[in-house]
Amino acid sequence: GENVEQHPSTLSVQEGDSAVIKCTYSDSASNYFPWYKQELGKRPQLIIDIRSNVGEKKDQRIAVTLNKTAKHFSLHITETQPEDSAVYFCAASISGNEKLTFGTGTRLTIIP
């Protein structure tokens, strides 16, 4: 089955700097890659996703890149703000299949 590895497990970034979280996946059939943000004590929420027919997608300060050949994808957050502090999970699945395989999460701390 699919296996998703996520690095780093913790990341501290000075406010205003950029943060990058990386994930690799094992199943070449996977074609849908979402990122979820989970604030302390809250539910996970989708922040951005990308499909395998696209190499990069941006939404304001957040971007995701996908390298299908290397089977890895990354989350980039620019101009980080205190409200970006949370746990971020990457995931992979086959589109239409609601089974998501999640990475183990990255705890991002923004230092004021």
Partner 1 sequence: KAGVTQTPRYLIKTRGQQVTLSCSPISGHRSVSWYQQTPGQGLQFLFEYFSETQRNKGNFPGRFSGRQFSNSRSEMNVSTLELGDSALYLCASSSQAVNTGELFFGEGSRLTVL
Residues that bind partner 1 (CB under 8 A): 1, 6, 32, 34, 42-46, 49, 51, 89, 91, 93, 95-105
**Closest CB 15 distance from partner 1, rounded Å:** 26
Whether 92 contacts 4, CB under 8 Å:
yes
Instruction: For CA atoms 67, 68, 72, 77, give the dihedral sign.
Output: positive
| Cβ proximity to partner 1, 42 vs 58, nearer residue | 42
**Closest CB 112 distance from partner 1, rounded Å:** 26
**Closest CB 94 distance from partner 1, rounded Å:** 10
Q: What radius of gyration, in Å, describes the C-alpha atoms of the chain?
A: 13
